[in-house]
Amino acid sequence: MKFPENRPGAFWRSFAIVVVVTGVYALTARLLFPALGHRYNIISVGFIFGMPFALGALVCYLGYRLDSPRPFWHRWAPMLVMWLAVAGSWAVHLEALMCLVVALPIVLPSATGGGWTMHLSLQKRSKDRLLVSLVVLLPYAVAPVESWWSAPHETRVMTDSIHIRASADAIWKQIYQVPAIQREELPSQWIYHLGFPRPIEANIDREGVGAVRHATFEREVSFFEVVTDWQPAKKLSFTIKADPDFVPHTAFDEHIIVGGRFYDVLDGTYEIEPGSDGACTLHLSSTHRLSTPFNWYAGWWSEWVMSQIQGSILEVIRKRCEAAS
């Protein structure tokens, strides 16, 4: 492989060309994957890992061709260009901020790995055009093969607790039906700054098992909860139904919509544990379904998200109960 001589200003021109070409490559992949059918999913190893890897390799290849084989092109440029691609997809509202934050710990190392792999390969091969063609097509080759295997289904139970200086009866009145929550009542949580809808209220049509609890969140998000266990001042359990056709797609990213293909919340339980000091501990638990090729990673994020949401709801209940007492 031959490299052009380095000239004043050539680096920045080369960098601009690399950013544009690889940006078009990433955008094309993002738009083309959903259009190619069910075998090409955005939430897949082929796209989440393969596309950034190919982008990093392409950055290194183009940098070497347009500028020179300086270390910048395989060490730092892939990650920098990936950052720019992520920022651009958020700026044009192609992806939600929450989705991008979740993806960053995967796409940045994958892009860097692609840059290093291309660098090492170019030291040993002379047919560099064939090599870069194979790398660019890598995500499109991996995705259909990956689709032959169903994504594993996994359920997780997440529990949060809070100590409340109030009686069990006072707490019960605040959990089976939750009056409208003002924004200032909610503690500041990262999840809400990233665009997740805040809880508003929960109404119930009657008391007892079989009652329907209607929980609403910002941006017209609603969940219908059927009571399965009703023990006044002790325990409240309910199933949760989130219809993805009812939940507005503007409220969640299409890939993490509750009740969708990859994620769902199945049920919830409030349990009041009386203490010896006249106070109580309130436990809030929920069961979640994950169906992604990388549940080990998605599960960590879902636990963090639900811990933030459940913790904020418990904090609202604590403040209201203690204020009333």
Confidence band (pLDDT; 50, 70, 90) for 259?
A: low
Per-residue pLDDT, 2: 44
Contact 31, 38 (CB under 8 A): no
CA-closest candidate to residue 159, choices 313, 294, 280, 263: 313
Is residue 317 left, alpha or beta, with left meaning phi > 0 and alpha meaning psi from -120 to 50? alpha
Residue 30 confidence (pLDDT) above 50: yes
How many Å from the N-terminal Cα to the C-terminal Cα in the chain?
A: 78
Residue 106 confidence (pLDDT) above 80: yes
Per-residue pLDDT, 130: 82
What is the DSSP secondary-structure string of 231-242?
ETTTEEEEEEE-
Least confident of 139-153, 177-191, 194-208, 308-322: 139-153
Least confident of 167-181, 203-217, 246-260: 246-260
Could you give the percent of the chain with pLDDT greater than 90? 58
Highest-confidence range of 122-131, 148-157, 281-290, by mean pLDDT?
281-290
Separation CA 212–CA 232 (nearest Å): 16
Separation CA 3–CA 9 (nearest Å): 16
C-alpha dist (Å) from residue 281 to 15, 45, 108, 182? 58, 42, 42, 24
Confidence band (pLDDT; 50, 70, 90) for 127?
A: low
User: Which ranges in the chain belong to alpha helices (H)?
Assistant: 10-35, 45-48, 50-66, 72-75, 77-91, 97-122, 128-136, 138-146, 168-175, 190-193, 295-324
Tokens in use for 164?
Answer: 């409340």
Per-residue pLDDT, 136: 92
- Mean pLDDT across the chain: 88
Could you give the percent of the chain with pLDDT greater than 70? 91
Helices 50-66, 128-136: axis angle to 10 degrees equals 150
**Residue 123: burial class (beta carbons within 10 Å; 0-12, 13-18, 19+):** exposed
Per-residue pLDDT, 206: 94
Per-residue pLDDT, 132: 86
Per-residue pLDDT, 257: 65
| Cβ count within 10 A of residue 284 | 22
pLDDT tens digits, 242-254 = 755 555 445 455 5
Separation CA 50–CA 135 (nearest Å): 9
- Give the mean pLDDT of 15-28: 95
Tokens in use for 179?
Answer: 């009056």
Question: 125 or 200: which carries more pLDDT confidence?
Answer: 200
Contact 272, 282 (CB under 8 A): yes
Question: 9 or 280: which carries more pLDDT confidence?
Answer: 280
- Give the mean pLDDT of 8-22: 89
Per-residue pLDDT, 108: 97
- Give the mean pLDDT of 141-152: 83
Confidence band (pLDDT; 50, 70, 90) for 4?
A: very low
